[in-house]
Structure 1
Amino acid sequence: MWFSLLENVPDHEWRMSKIVTTLIADRQYPEKMLIYAENHNQSISGGCSFAEILFGKIKKDSPGSKESLLRGCSLHKMIRLITFTIGGHAYLNFMGNEFGHPKRVEFPMRSNNFSFSLANRQWDLLAAGVHQDLFSFDKELMNLDESERVLSRGLPNIHHVNDTNMVISYVRGPFLFVFNFHPTDSYEGYNVGVEEAGEYQVILNSDELKYGGQGLLKENHYIQRTINRRVDGLPYCLEVFLPSRTAQVSKLTRILRI
């Protein structure tokens, strides 16, 4: 699904409703769903890796390379986070996807004369740069489920899908997930609904510097208190700062009785 979307449609024409309906297509049997964001054909038929599609053929000193890397890194994190948390109860993480391996991998087979030339991973990429940042984010993503058991908390309540603003938001247990896929527009004080009144703390932010982001969220953005206003069909709301191409996971840390 992600590959047809990335290859055929410009960023600003992505439809959030299509992303959501595709990722939750089989909600009737979520316990039987195995979800992933890698190109499964890369090791079978020599297809491009997920990162290769996102980053393209980037030369470090070429014009626009910094912007292209930022775009690719931002989307790599967001796509894995939404795929991981919006679907079923099992997530498959491909070896190489977690640190944005830039080249295809191909098993020895008849079509390549059983060559091992492409049957390898470039682990040296973890030493620095965007691949180290993506690996750091992936470890936090895995820790999120290990410590908070996100996937075992039932299916999410997807209450905000805005194709114009390119924002998706849903609640899963005490967690609020918000994604701004817009390539240029950031939103200050964006209203998203929540089910419980209280204080919400950002526990995972894809835009942090240590994950290759820009660090646009400041200290005052990390803890927000709900407003007694009905939004998205839910009794309360948060006003959140959403930089373009970023995602946030917030946890209800203090319940307020109103």
Structure 2
Amino acid sequence: MNNLETKYGWLSAPQAYVSLKHEVDKVIVFERAGVLFIFNFHPTQSFSDYRVGVEESGEYSVVLSSDEKEFGGHERVDTSITHFTTPMEWNNRKNFLQVYIPNRTCLVLAKH
């Protein structure tokens, strides 16, 4: 996490934009410093092809997954996948991408 903060500098960036706070799904999504943070706090429900709004179009990759073995996770996220945006407004953002978010995980995606 510290290495990623050094690379992207989100702590010193302007205020984050929270694009989603879904009470039922227990998902929170926000963008800060061009990095996309996705949290799934649901105790049992994972989501495949979950739509997440992003402002900038392009290709995004997972740069951190709390589901990695080194963090005590189950390695359910394929970090080699490139996520492409679709130019359609979603959650007040100009584009969206679709991502698998396992229960009780955090994903951090960055644009290529």
Q: TM-score, normalised by structure 1?
A: 0.42
| SS of residue in 2 equivalent to 1:207 | coil
CA distance in structure 1 between the aligned counterparts of 2:46 and 2:25, rounded to whole angstroms: 9
Which residue of structure 1 aligns with residue 99 of structure 2?
240
- Structure 1 position 219, deviation (Å): 4.6
Q: 1:165 to 1:145 in 2, by over 3 A?
A: same
Q: What number of residue pairs does the alignment pair up?
A: 112
Larger strand share, 1 or 2: 2
Alignment of 1:182 with 2:65, yes or no, is no
Given candidates 194, 198, 201, the residue that maps to 2:61 is: 201
- Structure 1 position 147, deviation (Å): 2.2
Q: Of the two, which has the highest radius of gyration?
A: 1
| Structure 1 outlier segments of 4+, above 3 Å | none
Which residue of structure 1 aligns with residue 78 of structure 2?
218
CA distance in structure 2 between the aligned counterparts of 1:207 and 1:183, rounded to whole angstroms: 14
Larger helix share, 1 or 2: 1
Unaligned runs of 5+ in 2: none
Q: 1:156 to 1:164 in 2, by over 3 A?
A: same
Q: TM-score, normalised by structure 2?
A: 0.95
Q: 1:177 to 1:151 in 2, by over 3 A?
A: same
Higher relative contact order (CA 8 A, sep 6+): 2
Q: 1:223 to 1:146 in 2, by over 3 A?
A: same
- Aligned residue identity for 1:194: V
- Structure 1 position 162, deviation (Å): 0.3
Give the % identical residues: 35
Unaligned runs of 5+ in 1: 1-140, 254-258
Show CA shifts across 1:123-155 (max 9, x none). Answer: xxxxxxxxxxxxxxxxxx111212221111111
Alignment of 1:230 with 2:89, yes or no, is yes
| SS of residue in 2 equivalent to 1:151 | helix
CA root-mean-square deviation: 1.1
